[in-house]
Amino acid sequence: MTDSAPKAGPSKPRLGYIGLGNMGAPMATRLLDWPGGLAVCDARAEALEPFTSAGASGASTPADVAAQARIISVTVLDDAQVREVVGGPHGILSTAQPGTVVAIHSTISDTTAVELAGICRQRGVLLVDAPISGGAGGAAQGRLAVMIGGSDEAFEAVREPFGSWAELVVHAGDVGAGTRMKLARNLLHFVSFTATTEAARLAEAAGLDLRTLGKVVRHTDAITGGAGAIMLRDTTAPVSEDDPWFSILRHVRNLGEKDLALAIDLGDRLDLDLPLAHLALAGLGAGLGVENDREDRLAEPSPASTASTTREHA
């Protein structure tokens, strides 16, 4: 265990925070009471004032932060800014002591994280990619999730201080894994947003109130868990029939195919194209690992025929 690991009592390491924007400021605020103390840095002098007034030490450059702190969080805009903060002329590596842990909370390329970790390692510094999920609201409430890519040693060093602003702290794997997990999480997020716009167009074409639909979606997702409710298996491989998940996921598939087919049918009657709904219908079973087999297809009506039958008997 290096000197950067959290220790009991007053000997906890001094923390540093670089980047006090919409996300960084509320995260750093929750570190003001950290027993080892806090050093902060931001390009805007006015961003430092609330922290220095509350007892944190202000720093003019990342190098000044690294001269004081043993665990340093970085929340800046993009890969270029991260590179400058870590390795620039006034960057962290110009003054960091061996054993210092640098955590990059910005969402950057996983290849950038791996590259910078290698450069840091040559100086005896540990770098972790530690992107966050939960938005500004989660930061303000201290309820973020942080996905950490790095060594076991580095993870143990940051777990306790990160728990000051994160409700969920996970070790995703080696350096780069945190960013890859964040990208997979955000893929779901923004594909879901695109699907939401398609659902809104269907609702609008059907003469429904979109705000009311939004209330229903938020209400039921809070109960069911939304898309995350099916992310409980440790593999995406096809599910064998003797697996306890088989009947559950087949039920999800059957309901999903029925409802997607009905939504597509409604869109057809409203002369509205729903491309994501068609993609979802085509790929749902295989994606769940319970693609329709021959017996399923013989025993159950197809989604198209279900929609047709429903329309004929409506």
Which residue has 């039958």 as its token pair? Answer: 309
**Residue 34, helix vs strand vs coil:** coil
Active-site residue, 182 included = yes
Which residue has 């999800």 as its token pair? Answer: 252
Distance between CA 309 and CA 303 in Å, rounded? 10
Distance between CA 163 and CA 267 in Å, rounded? 47
Those residues with Cβ within 8 angstroms of residue 154's Cβ, 6 or more apart along the chain or in another chain: 4, 101, 126, 127, 128, 148
- Within 10 angstroms of residue 76's Cβ, the number of other Cβ atoms is 23
> What share of residues in the chain are helix, strand, coil (percent, to 5)?
55, 10, 30
Rg of the chain on CA atoms, in Å: 25
Backbone angles phi, psi at 148, to 5 degrees: -105, 125
* Spatial CA neighbour of 28 closest among 63, 56, 64, 9: 56
End-to-end CA distance of the chain: 69
- Active-site residue, selected from the candidate residues 7, 182, 215, 258: 182
15, two tokens: 């923390």
List of E strands, 53-140: 57-59, 71-74, 101-104, 126-129, 132-133
- For residues 117-142, one letter each, b for 16 or more C-beta atoms within 10 angstroms of the residue's C-beta and e for the rest, the string is beebeeeebbbbbbbbbbeeebbbeb
Residues present in the chain in total: 314
Q: Any idea which residues carry the catalytic annotation?
A: 182
